[in-house]
């Protein structure tokens, strides 16, 4: 049996991934996929924000959309810096299933709960 398909020797372009290489840290993030999902999310939020008339009743809704848009922008910047998917409160990786449900999540589930209390 041949064992030629070893993927352990992944090479990084030097200088681009300092953040990730710090302490040998490497996330299993599919950047292309995440960026696509964030762009979809942003388009969806923008659609919703346009559709909402600026009546007093929808203003709180509107604020939520603006905050969500900010989170999406932040997530995109972090993706570029290579820090996407790291909890801003504790610095630990956010579980992939949480990122799948909330691509723009800033905190792990624990810290999110702490913040909401």
Smallest gap, in angstroms, from Cβ of residue 108 to Zn ion?
4
Residues near Zn ion, by CB under 5 A: 87, 89-90, 108, 111
Smallest gap, in angstroms, from Cβ of residue 85 to Zn ion?
11
Nearer to Zn ion, 72 or 108 (CB): 108
For the chain, the three-class secondary structure string (H helix, E strand, C coil) is CCCCCCCCCCCCCCCCCHHHHHHHCCCCCCHHHHHHHHHHHHHHHHHHHHHCCCCHHHHHHHHHHHHHHHHHHHHHHHHHHCCCCECCCCCCECCHHHHHHCCCCCCCHHHHHHHHC
Smallest gap, in angstroms, from Cβ of residue 89 to Zn ion?
4
Nearer to Zn ion, 45 or 107 (CB): 107
């Amino acid at each position: 049996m041949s064992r030629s398909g070893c993927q352990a020797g992944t090479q990084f372009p030097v200088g681009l991934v300092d953040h990730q290489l710090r302490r040998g840290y490497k996330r299993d993030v599919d950047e292309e996929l995440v960026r696509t999902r964030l762009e979809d999310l942003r388009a969806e939020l923008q659609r919703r924000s346009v559709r909402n008339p600026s009546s007093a009743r929808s203003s709180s809704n509107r604020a939520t959309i603006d905050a969500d848009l900010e989170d999406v922008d932040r997530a995109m910047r972090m993706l570029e810096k290579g820090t996407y998917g790291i909890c801003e409160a504790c610095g630990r990786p956010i579980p992939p299933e949480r990122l799948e449900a909330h691509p723009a999540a800033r905190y792990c589930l624990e810290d999110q709960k702490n913040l909401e209390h």
